[in-house]
Amino acid sequence: MPQALPRDPARVQLPLLPPGPLTAAAAPLATEEPLRPDPAAFLASLIDLRGGVTLSDALDGLDAVVAPPGDAPPASAVRAQLRDGVGDIQRRLDDGFKHAFRPRYRLPDAQRTLRLLGEAGALVERGGRPLKVATRTLWAPYHSFVDTQLKRARFALRDLRAALAPALARQSDDAARLVHLDGVLLEAIHPKVEALMRRVPHALERAFAAHLAAAVAALPDPPTAEDVAPWFTAAGWIPPWFAQGEVLCRAVVDHERLRLASLVEACLSAGVGDGAPSS
């Protein structure tokens, strides 16, 4: 089982979200039980002044939005498109994490880790600026990997939404309004949502720094690559920490997947669908 990430009460906070994949994944970072706020109030807190004006204009013109011309595809076809698209996104995410330590991602091994620690002076002065420099250098490829996996999956989900939107809008006038309103709402909350999403790698970085500082302090003098190698074994600190990073990445993707699935079902319910949702 992945070890819980170190807690930093002064800096780590759990976003005020209703229970869901993000809440569950971030639980090891929480210092207390999360609150259960009104979802509408939380959503409103994500909308800045510009987003509020955009949303207000969209609401004023919502009655004018109607279903585009063309036959509405059956609900079963829309659900299949969603299922296939999400499955492809999840398979690519699986592949990324499965092969994370292959050379193309340049995640450091024991030998490279020891060399970078030595170049930064962190094996002589095992703290202060040398250790901070070493931490930034070692963290950089992990940050690049996590950021890449998150962006790829989230962009793919946005592309899937765009591909589904015409079929959803054709279900009925009410469905077309839901699609339009969902797009405007996504635009309105985008800046603050992106700021929240950036906290995922930042939380992992803080945990990485805490683990690394403790591990470096425990190294013998002088250390060898064989002394660093246990960090990378199943009993070491890097695999559980990296596993927690994967959990957080998947929670972000699952959160956005559930949002898209909710839009699909709402639009199909507002249309003339051909059956109940598939399990």
Whether 261 and 75 have beta carbons less than 8 Å apart is answered as no
pLDDT band at residue 230 using 50, 70 and 90 as cut-offs: very high
Percentage of residues in the chain with pLDDT exceeding 70? 80
- The chain-wide mean pLDDT, for the chain, equals 82
pLDDT reported for residue 16: 40
Flag whether 236 is in a domain. yes
Q: What would the pLDDT profile of 111-143 be if each residue is shown by its tens digit?
A: 999 999 999 999 999 989 999 999 999 999 999
**Is residue 61 one of the residues assigned to a domain?**
no
pLDDT digit string (tens) for 185-213?
A: 888 888 888 888 888 788 888 889 999 99
pLDDT of residue 198: 81
User: Considering its fold, how many domains does the chain have in total?
Assistant: 1
Prediction pTM value: 0.75
Residue 53 in domain: no
Please give the residue range of the domain that contains residue 102. 71-269
Q: Whole-angstrom Cα distance, residue 126 to residue 132?
A: 10
- Write down the pLDDT at residue 42: 65
